[in-house]
Amino acid sequence: MKWYKLDPEGFNPKVFGLHRIDEIQCTKGYGVGEIRLFTRKGWETFAELLDYNPITMKRIRLSQWWIFAAKGVFESGHHN
């Protein structure tokens, strides 16, 4: 999987269970199985079915799953 860095300003940290996002990356969801259960060690993750490419922000012909992974600060003040 190739991961792409994104601007954390455009994301709600609560989606990841965080108070603040310090770094966020995304990749296309490939493979067979439940993509929403994907995990990445040391990161908080979620997957979303989108009709645009979150890297280029261009519309895509067919909706595709994307996996987002974030690092940041939890409500308790601890980093992941």
Q: What is the mean pLDDT of the chain?
A: 91
The model's pTM: 0.88
Distance, in Å, from the CA atom of 27 to the CA atom of 70, rounded to the nearest integer, reads: 12
Give the per-residue pLDDT at 57: 95
Report CA torsion sign: 9, 65, 26, 46: positive
The neighbouring-strand residues paired with 68 are: 26, 46
Alpha carbon distance, N-terminus to C-terminus of the chain: 21
Whether the predicted pLDDT of 48 surpasses 90 = yes
- What is the model's pLDDT at position 45? 95
